Amino acid sequence: MTTILDGKKVRDARKEVLMAKIKEFTLGSGGVLPCLAIVQVGDRADSSTYINAKKKFAKEIGAEAVHTKFVETVSEENVLREIENLNNDPRVHGIIVQLPLPMTMDKDIILDSIFPEKDVDGLCAENSKKWLEGRADAIWPATTRGIAEILDASSISLEGKDVVVIGRSFLVGKPTAEMCLSRNATVTVCHSKTPDLIAATSQADVIIVAAGKPRLIGASHVKAGQTVIDVGTTPDPVTGKIVGDVDFDAVSKVLGDTGMISPVPGGVGPMTVLALFENLIDACYNAKNNK
Ligand code: NAP
């Protein structure tokens, strides 16, 4: 049987470590709880689902999550003012802006307005430069950190491996490709204009797919012994259930006993939420040490 890379199991194991760190931080700072501020613009159902998952997880681990929700038509100035307030609020240790933003807003201006030390998504210009350079002090975006940690939990080294990353978004594909490079993999990045996806994926040791295209990767894309990480989360239009980019059953059959695969749901999703709060706790300790 193909090994399942169980994100829930890994998350639960690492959650204990995170909770211990939160307790230590809270005691050591006179009862101040680690606090994540979430800024949402608009009312996208998927964004609200992800935000609720983050708020629920914060409660479970003993951290705080404050949520500011603006209507879609809010001005950029108002959003920037809120971020400025959160930047200057000593009770807030980390700030994220839930993406995507409405088309009318300049994502870069908004993201760059977050103080780098509070940018726990690692997406402002100063922080993204660090992960682009593969620096040791980089704040990796949560999904990328989650992918790295699910690989680590199964002792999957990327050194010297051929890794194919499908997707080149600033949020997932690019930082993930950089993370793989920083671990000394040989990385191929594919996207919607890649003419022959099968040629790329079939020679890889590890395939990481973040395209948001259900069942993009099927039996013909893979071979025995590969590791397949499915990042995709798309709600099925009929059932509403979340589906990945990989045809799990067909691909698992080909990967065989020596292959590994992450499921959707229950793979990268839980790891992303965990990693966000790991970034938050890192920010708390950095702030404390720099006082
Ligand atoms: P995105 O911004 O839409 O980027 C999708 C990428 O996939 C683009 O680079 C696109 O290529 C590429 N692509 C689309 N169709 C393709 C095809 N047929 N063949 C090859 N490449 C193709 O999406 P994203 O924000 O990166 O997210 C990707 C997926 O991951 C989504 O399902 C999202 O919901 C999910 N996600 C999951 C988590 C989690 O925690 N599990 C976190 C974040 C995102 P072009 O650049 O050429 O357009």
Tell me: pLDDT of 291 over 80: no
The answer to whether the beta carbons of residues 229 and 167 sit under 8 Å apart is no
245-285 pLDDT, tens digit each: 999 999 999 999 999 999 999 999 999 999 999 999 999 99
- The type of residue at 58 is A
For a ligand 1 pocket test, name from 149, 164, 169 the mutation site with the most ligand atoms within 8 angstroms of its C-beta: 169
| CA 28 to centroid of ligand 1, rounded, Å | 41
Q: Write phi, then psi, for 227 (nearest 5 degrees).
A: -105, 130
CA 155 – CA 162 distance, rounded (Å): 16
34-75 pLDDT, tens digit each: 999 999 999 998 899 999 999 999 999 999 999 999 999 999
Burial of 37 (0-12, 13-18, 19+ CB in 10 A): buried
Over pLDDT 90: what percentage of the chain? 96
CA torsion sign for 146, 152, 153, 154 is: positive
pLDDT reported for residue 240: 85
The answer to whether the beta carbons of residues 242 and 270 sit under 8 Å apart is no
Instruction: For residue 273, give the ligand 1 atom closest to its CA.
Output: 40
For a ligand 1 pocket test, name from 52, 150, 190, 191 the mutation site with the most ligand atoms within 8 angstroms of its C-beta: 191
Catalytic hit among 98, 118, 119, 230:
98
CA 164 – CA 200 distance, rounded (Å): 7
Catalytic hit among 15, 21, 54, 174:
54
Residue with token string 């990353």: 165
| CA 34 to centroid of ligand 1, rounded, Å | 31
**Closest by alpha carbon to 189, among 216, 165, 163, 173?**
165
| CA 157 to centroid of ligand 1, rounded, Å | 24
Instruction: For residue 173, give the ligand 1 atom closest to its CA.
Output: 26
Read off the pTM. 0.97
